[in-house]
Structure 1
């Protein structure tokens, strides 16, 4: 992946975050229409904030996202923007998510910064999640 330096009036930057988060109790609730809607909501939030999504993979029990935000947005802010926005909309649109889970997302998340050298590696890792998914009964 070639380095893409973005600019704003006060900064030039090439910053990426690999963010992973799970539903409460790591329940496998993301399939079918819920998965499709979650992907659209994540894209909508990124578009609203002006963030670039490089790679996204919604697994049944977790989400992998490689996003390039503005440097003024901290990793915790980015993760919480996606989690809060998607939880609000998914729980309103899919009542079974309200009845099965007290909250949609667990409080925790993983985030790592991604440099230009390893960006392709992160993208390949996210895009091949299903190839590496554990067999039934296993954990990721």
Structure 2
């Protein structure tokens, strides 16, 4: 049985597979930033009553399976997470306390797909993302 969630007047099951990249697809998600970014993203999702059910940070992109209540749109939540995470990264890693104009960690767009009966497939895909990328690189499909 699905793990339905409730709001005051509704029951819901809304999960999305979301992927986005850093600006210019630079490989910036590594080291200490990678260790801290996961907790930052989880906390920001909680602020919008969302749950990141599965996630993986690659050096040049982010994969997540996120549960979003129907009172929020996907674009609202992802825009909030990307914007606020940029500010937190600027504060924690670059010592900025204000004037964040011009700070861009993430590229403008993102990919989102609804997850229905294929939830287990999407979870497995996200978990094994790193090994699949290595396999494709060895085959010469990625550079």
Q: Distance in 2 between matches of 1:84 and 1:102?
A: 10
The equivalent of 1:118 in structure 2 is: 118
Q: TM-score, normalized by length of structure 1?
A: 0.87
**Are the equivalent residues in 1 in contact too, given 2:18–2:64 (CA < 8 A)?**
yes
Count of paired positions = 133
The equivalent of 2:109 in structure 1 is: 108
The equivalent of 1:38 in structure 2 is: 37
The equivalent of 2:98 in structure 1 is: none
**Cα distance per residue 1:56-77 (max 9 Å; x no partner):** 1000000001110111111111
Q: Cα offset for 1:113?
A: 1.0
Q: Distance in 2 between matches of 1:72 and 1:113?
A: 16
Unaligned runs of 5+ in 1: none
The equivalent of 1:68 in structure 2 is: 67
RMSD (Å), alpha carbons: 2.0
Which has the larger Rg? Answer: 2
**Are the equivalent residues in 1 in contact too, given 2:45–2:77 (CA < 8 A)?**
no
Unaligned runs of 5+ in 2: 96-101
Q: Distance in 2 between matches of 1:102 and 1:46?
A: 21
